């Protein structure tokens, strides 16, 4: 959360190094120092409104106001996710994770294997991996769910504490369908990283919903206007904290590793 519409924010980058093995009376060596960078933000406004007739509000057998609030709230979440992934950047737009082209990328092979996914995980340093997560859309999730090790076990392990949560190499998998799959090529992206360090969302004004039956022409048309507004910006903070897989083929054209193909031991 930010109290100013624009400004800078100091962030620490990189991961810590190790201490030195030092003998008695030996001069202590200087450690790898922390690196800091100024991230500049400039919040943008996102808004929309919905007109609803008084008859619909008064005669509906459901709590229609609650339905409208839920609908606008869902629109806010979709907006935030889409901007965080695909924002166009610059002074007037949010900077997106995928569109920024600042993170390391790996092009997916024609056959997705356990070995390749492990390579993706190891593209970022261990200091980032301990808090990292996998991010993908439903189609990519379904593709990875078909990958099996040499013992016929799926690589997506269900979290025993939550039947709707899955792990890949011990790290959480989160599904966001705002990540686009190209209709022509059936290709999409998978992200892996510590996104709390890789990307910041600067929140100036949380999503707010207001209504009026007198403003504008609402009074004369016997309608109620519902308006939603939020203000935020998003910036890439640490490009080393995440990696993006490109050109991952999903759907019927997807090819994945099964016990009948070359396989790797999940325990390694």
Sequential DSSP letters for 207-234: EEEEEESSSTTHHHHTEEEEEEEEEEEE
Inter-CA distances, 20 with 26, 27, 174, Å: 11, 11, 38
**What's the whole-number mean pLDDT along residues 112-130?**
94
pLDDT (0 to 100) of residue 103: 97
Backbone angles phi, psi at 187, to 5 degrees: -110, 145
Q: Give the pLDDT confidence score for residue 261 in this predicted structure.
A: 54
Q: Please give the residue range of the domain that contains residue 131.
A: 6-11+36-256
What's the predicted TM-score (pTM) here?
A: 0.82
Measured between alpha carbons, how far is 209 from 46 in angstroms, rounded to an integer?
12
Task: Give the per-residue pLDDT at 266.
Answer: 47
For residues 80 and 43, the answer to whether their CB atoms sit within 8 Å is no
Q: Based on C-alpha coordinates, what's the Rg of the chain? A: 24
> What pLDDT was estimated at residue 265?
47
Query: Is position 179 within any domain?
Result: yes
**Which of 54-63, 110-119, 171-180, 223-232 has the least mean pLDDT?**
54-63
pLDDT tens by residue, 221-266: 999 999 999 999 999 999 999 999 999 999 988 899 877 655 444 4
- Determine phi and psi for 193, rounding to 5 degrees: 165, 175
- Highest mean pLDDT pick, 124-133, 156-165, 257-266: 124-133
What is the count of structural domains for the chain? 1
| Strand pairing report for 242-249 and 104-107 | parallel
In a domain, residue 177? The reply is yes
Nearest in space to 109 (alpha carbons), one of 190, 227, 202, 180: 190
**Percentage of the chain exceeding pLDDT 90:** 62
- Domain contains 267: no
Domain CATH code at residue 243: 3.30.2400.10
- Asked, for residue 20, whether it belongs to a domain, the answer is no
Q: Is residue 25 part of a domain?
A: no
- 172 sits in which H/E element: strand 171-175
**pLDDT-derived band at 35, boundaries 50, 70, 90:** confident
Residues 6 or more apart in contact with residue 131 via CB below 8 angstroms: 194, 196, 197
Tell whether 261 is covered by a domain: no
Q: Domain for residue 203, yes or no?
A: yes
- Residue 263 covered by a domain: no
| Count of positions (residues) in the chain | 268
- Token pair for 190: 């998978």
**Mean per-residue pLDDT over the chain, rounded:** 89
């Amino acid at each position: 959360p930010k109290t100013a519409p624009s400004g800078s924010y100091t962030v620490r980058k990189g991961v810590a190094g190790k201490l030195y093995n030092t003998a008695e009376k030996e001069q202590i060596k200087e450690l790898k120092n922390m690196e800091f960078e100024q991230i500049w933000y400039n919040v943008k406004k996102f808004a929309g409104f919905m007109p609803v007739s008084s008859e619909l509000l008064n005669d509906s057998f459901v709590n229609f106001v609650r339905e409208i609030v839920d609908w606008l709230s869902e629109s806010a979440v979709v907006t935030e996710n889409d901007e965080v992934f695909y924002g166009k950047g610059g002074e007037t737009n949010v900077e997106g994770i995928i569109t920024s082209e600042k993170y390391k990328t790996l092009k997916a092979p024609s056959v997705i294997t356990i070995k390749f996914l492990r390579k993706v995980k190891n593209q970022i340093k261990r200091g980032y991996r301990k808090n990292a997560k996998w991010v993908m859309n439903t189609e990519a999730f379904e593709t990875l769910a078909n990958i099996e090790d040499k013992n016929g076990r799926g690589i997506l392990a269900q979290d025993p504490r939550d039947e709707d949560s899955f792990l890949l190499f011990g790290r959480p998998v989160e599904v966001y369908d705002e990540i686009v799959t190209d209709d022509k090529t059936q290709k999409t992206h998978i992200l892996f990283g510590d996104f709390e360090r890789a990307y910041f969302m600067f929140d100036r004004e949380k999503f707010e919903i207001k209504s009026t039956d007198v403003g504008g022409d609402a009074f004369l048309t016997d309608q109620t206007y519902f308006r939603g507004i939020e203000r935020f910006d998003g910036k890439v903070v640490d490009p080393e904290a995440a990696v993006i897989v490109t050109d991952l083929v999903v759907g019927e054209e997807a090819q994945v590793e099964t016990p009948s193909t070359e396989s790797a031991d999940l325990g390694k």
